[in-house]
Chains A and B, each alone.
Chain A
Amino acid sequence: MERCNFHLERGYIEGAGPRPGRAEALLLSLSDMAGAPVYLGAGWAGFDSTVESISKLPKDLFAEVCQQIMLHLQCKSPGVNTFELAERLQTAGVELDLEATKELVHVISLFFRSAAQSNMSAEEFVVKLADSSSKWSKHALQVIRHVWTEQGKLIVTPGDAKHMLTVGQLVDLQWKLGMAVSSDSCRSLNHPYVTMMLKVADPTGEIISRSFEMTIPQFQNFLKQFREVATVLEMV
């Protein structure tokens, strides 16, 4: 059974999708939506068949899927529960296994994200989609036009989402206490400072390092804040 971790208050953008390589190929095709002829790398056959799957979904079910994806992209929900979705689709008689469902959700999310980044109107969006594959059904495009008109503007694009980096786990902290003795503009600097190096793992497992410097007063404030955090954690 799938485990879901829900964080209260703020929403978090999910990390990389299930198959990054394929997603990149699709995104390449989408970013060309702005004008140039579409180049589709590996995954072309897969793309058409995914569109076919989308078009086979009953209209109201597809509308619901789009709605769930929109909520996620607007950071109002932590993600689409693809397991539950696959179950529902199968109950409704749609022949899509979990993998195919995930792919479907992923592709639709990419479309929406890309359209949001290019600031497309519903009309533009639908035209580009229709151009990208002959497998789109009229119903599917209608649903997308409707959903986009109503809620397209509310999507949080990466530009807005600078504050909403995926939450990482602290893997390691290293520190150094240094003394700046001299510089070209001041021979007698005598300035102590603390440098910290954080190693952070994001949900995909990738580890990034960041270092930063603090003056002694800044460090003392830093320490004070973490003591407060510890106190609150104990009390809760």
Chain B
Amino acid sequence: MAEQCSKSLSGLLGGLAQLIYYHSPGITEQMLKDQLYPDLSQQDFKVLLEKMAGILRSITSADMDFNQLEAFLTAQTKKQKGITLEQAAVLTKFWKIHKVKIRESLINQSKWENCLRNLSWRVDLKSQSRHLDQINTPVAIVEFELGKNDQESEFLCLELDETKVNQLLKKLTEIEESIGTLSYTN
């Protein structure tokens, strides 16, 4: 019985993740009820769903590490109308599997600027006209594919000679150094 409860809860949490974080099409609350808790009353299911969704939100919003999670869940088990120890175990297992993916989807949800979808490049030999000496200068052609959300990509094509590339690299190295000075917990 307990095992069945655990399986159903595991399924419910997975379904909630699809619904709230991954935005998978086709998943609805009713579907979850029909598949996982067919014998539960509509009211009881709603209570369970809201309780679990609330707990999930707290966990994901704080991006809890496993120490914080343990403390949080233990507190929940001690509450009136809280969760059982089995449920706490299921939640812990769920977070182990989904933590990184959910965080990624939350980061993407708050990304509203253009992002670099692709970068391609090649190096050409550029020759000058027949009226001047044939000077073969190598030049890089770089194509940036930019886009945001579901919008179609925009392509930006740049021509960079060796000098420009080196100037660019200098700036990129500055950025790299700046990143090195960052200390953050992930």
* A, B: real partners: yes
- Shortest Cβ distance from residue B41 to the other chain A in the assembled complex, whole angstroms: 31
Chain A residues 128 to 171 lying within 8 A of chain B, measured CB to CB, are: 162-170
In the docked arrangement, what's the CA distance between A9 and B143, Å?
15
Indicate if the CB atoms of A210 and B156 lie closer than 8 Å: yes
Contacts of A195 in B (CB 8 A): 113
Q: CA of A229 to CA of B139 in the docked complex: distance in angstroms?
A: 10
B157's partner among A3, A168, A187, A218 (CB-CB below 8 A) is A168
Residues on B with C-beta less than 8 A from A200 are 156, 158
By a CB distance below 8 angstroms, the chain A residues around B178 are 177
Tell yes or no: A232 within 8 A of B by CB.
Answer: yes
Chain B residues with Cβ under 8 A from A5's Cβ?
Answer: 126, 128-129
Once A177-B178, A216-B179, A219-B175 are accepted as A-B contacts, the answer to whether A229 and B121 lie under 8 Å apart by CB is: yes
- Interface contacts (Cβ under 8 Å), in number, total 161
B113–A213 contact, CB under 8 A?
yes
Most buried by B among A183, A188, A189, A229: A229
Q: Tell whether, in the assembled complex, residue A173 and residue B171 are in contact, meaning their CB atoms are under 8 Å apart.
A: yes
Residue in contact with B138 in the complex, picked from A7, A165, A236, CB distance below 8 Å? A236
Q: A39 an interface residue at 8 Å Cβ cutoff?
A: no
Interface residues of A (CB under 8 A from B): 1-9, 162-170, 173, 175, 177, 179-180, 183-192, 194-195, 198, 200, 210-216, 218-220, 222-223, 225-227, 229-230, 232-234, 236
**Which B positions have Cβ atoms within 8 angstroms of A?**
60-63, 103, 106-107, 109-111, 113-116, 119, 121-129, 131-132, 138-144, 146, 153-162, 164-166, 168-169, 171-176, 178-179, 182, 184-186
